[in-house]
Amino acid sequence: MRQMTVDLNISADEYLALYRGVVCDVIAKSRDGRTVRFPANSLQKYVTRMGVSGTFDIYFDHHNKLLDVVKR
């Protein structure tokens, strides 16, 4: 299993665009400089009235398929 750590700060308005399907994926830069793209709906359980913010560990299998997104 592979893992990346990202810091996210997505406002409520930005996440609403994701929720409505205007945008389907989140693209972020990991702490080690790699770019990662993953489905926005994987953050749904972390959405608050303020949006989504915090540090997240993103886990992938050896085929780069998303396994899990976990907030630290």
pLDDT digits 0-9 by tens, 18-59? 777 777 899 999 999 999 999 988 998 999 999 999 999 999
What confidence category does residue 66 fall into, taking pLDDT thresholds of 50, 70 and 90?
very high
pLDDT at 17: 81
How many domains are there within the chain?
Answer: 1
> Which residues, other chains included, contact 59 with Cβ-Cβ below 8 Å and sequence gap of 6+?
1, 2, 3, 66, 67, 68, 69, 70
pLDDT at 33: 97
Domain that holds residue 18: 2-71
pLDDT at 1: 80
CATH number reported for the structural domain that contains residue 59 in this entry: 2.40.50
